Amino acid sequence: WREFAKEMDGVIRIGAVNCGDNRMLCRIKGINSYPSLYVFKTGMQPVKYFGDRSKESLKNFAMQYVTSTVTELWAGNFVNAIETSFASGVGWLITFCAEHGDCLSYQTRLKLAGMLEGLVNVGWMDCGTQGELCDNLDISSSTTAYFPPGATINNKEKGGVLFLNSLDAREIYQEVMQHLPDFEIISAASLEDRLAHHRWLLFFQFGESDKSNVQEFKKLKFLLKDEHIQVGKFDCLSSPTICHNLYVYQPCLAVFKGKGTGDYEIHHGKKILYDIVAFAKESVNSHVITLGPQNFPDKEKEPWLVDFFAPWCPPCRALLPELRKASKHLYGQLKFGTLDCTVHEGLCNTHNIRAYPTTVVFNQSDVHEYEGHHSAEQILEFIEDLRNPSVVSLTPETFVELVQRRKREEIWMVDFYAPWCGPCQALMPEWKKMARMLNGFISVGSVDCQKYYSFCHQESVRGYPEIRLFPQKSNTGHQYYSYNGWHRDSYSLRGWALGYLPQVSVDLTPQSFTEKVLNGKDHWVIDFYAPWCGPCQNFAPEFEILARTVKGRVKAGKVDCQAYAQTCQTADIRAYPTVKFYPYQGTKKNVLGEYIDSRDAKGIADLLNEKLEAIQNKGKRKKSRNK
């Protein structure tokens, strides 16, 4: 596999996934045997490889998917092909095949076309049939030559043509890459103006001998063309002040987003071609900027999320792409910035940063530290919760007032936690997410047992986190129920809590189904289920939320298909659970109803509202026609 990867380097990208560490990814991709070899290409389904696992067989299989163009040149197209290409600044690599000597094989030509895609055109000429043309070019035996743009084709001495003696694709590729022009060096005088009108990926170097000139990086121009990102260099020795103002103190690269020198982001990942491509594409389309003392948010009206990090720390580097993702969702509501604590130590000390990464939201005088997992989804969850808090922070006094003295029909869920406890920290984002899902049905709170230790002890809290549900008050009922489930994710907790809501939906018999649903004058939504079916049990609390959401407009009913098989058969129920809508439109309803293809309370409620609106509009049109 490694030999094959070396051989194909630059033509296709080779990767490996450890399914022991990434079980979920492998399961999603349908991998059920090891090793499983697949080729992935944009615009087509992944293709599995079933052949012999030798380097040669793998190479032949992979080359089928290299669709770069190798042009056959002859007297009829030669001049036009060369001139058109030269006019757009692209040279030609041509292998001439004559009677004497070796010319490049078909596979080598195709490999070179893939490796040089977008940089150099690749062609071949048969001197056996194009003898006159080869004579004019002074080609007498098989050879390969690179013609840079503007080369004088019929005078090889003066025209800068590069003749290549190798038959190896990688050696030819390296020689041609060396002859391609380097990136433009931006002058200090034109920098501000250039950055204000275009997106740029800039390599900052300190003097000419800088090692950032990797030949492979010349591909960046082509790879970033679709994103309209220009690529250039800036020498910090020509203007130390500019680099100092950008906090650039060593060779690095940064993306400027087309708004001058103020809106930019420094790259802290690996200096590998495709890592740089991914960074540049993500960065120009997101809203994260590099901060320093000059632009650090200070008592600004707009809220900021600031990530204090160190480039040497792997979790910090892993968080950066997640911040970019999150910034796209919150554009216009929250600004995103990153501060490198290895460069701005004083500023990090001012804000008492003791660990990396530390992510903080500054909202005028309020400061909130983010303590969840390093994913875009959880950052968005955290921000949403700051804007609309879903969990009530309870004190011993408010616990007595709101929970113990709750109204008769009120239900509370309370998390007793300690800030230092790892499982409590992992639970918190899920707890907040669950609280938002239960909004309007169950009140959710939390008690900090480090702060109120004696109160928690008095309430017999013996471990953290302790999750308790305080049900609707009844004369004989429990004071509370403790959650002992294995899973502490928002969906599992929500499902458990909803089980304590009193039922709003109606249990129907064959008789009441006929009388109330089919012959009645109400709209009905029905859950056809079987008591033994797992998905039905999972859906039951969801259906109760639906029943509460549509109460007053649509009645909700349940039919037990194990007890009333005949009714379910008549309604054409073939799977459990099945949800059907029975709208009243002035006549007896059809027993088949309207199938609802959703298992989400909100989704079903939205669908029912649409259907009710359509019925209402139909009724209005009918009335106006009758008038």
Active-site residue set: 421, 424, 533, 536
- Longest distance between any two alpha carbons in the chain, whole Å: 107
Asked if residue 75 lies in contact with residue 90, where contact means CB atoms within 8 angstroms, the answer is: no
Query: What residues does 49 pair with on adjacent strands?
Result: 37
> Minimal CA–CA distance to 501: which of 553, 544, 561?
544
- Strands 162-164 and 143-147, sheet pairing: antiparallel
- The token pair at 372 is 């969840």
Query: What residues does 323 pair with on adjacent strands?
Result: none
Phi, psi of 295 (to 5 degrees): -115, 15
Helix (H, G, I), strand (E, B) or coil at 38: strand
Burial 135-159 (b: 16+ CB within 10 A, else e): eebebeebbbbbbbbebebeebeee
- What are the Cα distances from residue 369, in Å, to 307, 333, 361, 372, 424? 10, 18, 6, 9, 16
Q: How far apart are CA 572 and CA 8, in angstroms?
A: 57
- What are the Cα distances from residue 434, in Å, to 145, 316, 414, 477? 66, 28, 12, 25
Q: How far apart are CA 113 and CA 12, in angstroms?
A: 12
- The token pair at 483 is 């959650």
Phi, psi of 251 (to 5 degrees): -55, 130
Query: What amino acid is encoded at 115 in this protein?
Result: M
Determine how many CB atoms are found less than 10 A away from the CB of residue 67. 10
DSSP element (H, E) containing 506: strand 506-508
Asked if residue 3 lies in contact with residue 55, where contact means CB atoms within 8 angstroms, the answer is: yes
Q: How far apart are CA 592 and CA 115, in angstroms?
A: 61
- The token pair at 467 is 């999750």
Ordered strands of the 524-529 beta sheet: 506-508, 555-560, 524-529, 578-582, 594-596
- The token pair at 339 is 């501060």
> Minimal CA–CA distance to 236: which of 265, 208, 266?
208
Q: How far apart are CA 562 and CA 529, in angstroms?
A: 8
Q: How far apart are CA 449 and CA 557, in angstroms?
A: 43
DSSP letter for 219, please.
Answer: G
- Strands 594-596 and 443-448, sheet pairing: unpaired
Determine how many CB atoms are found less than 10 A away from the CB of residue 212. 15
Q: How far apart are CA 423 and CA 554, in angstroms?
A: 42
Q: How far apart are CA 62 and CA 45, in angstroms?
A: 15
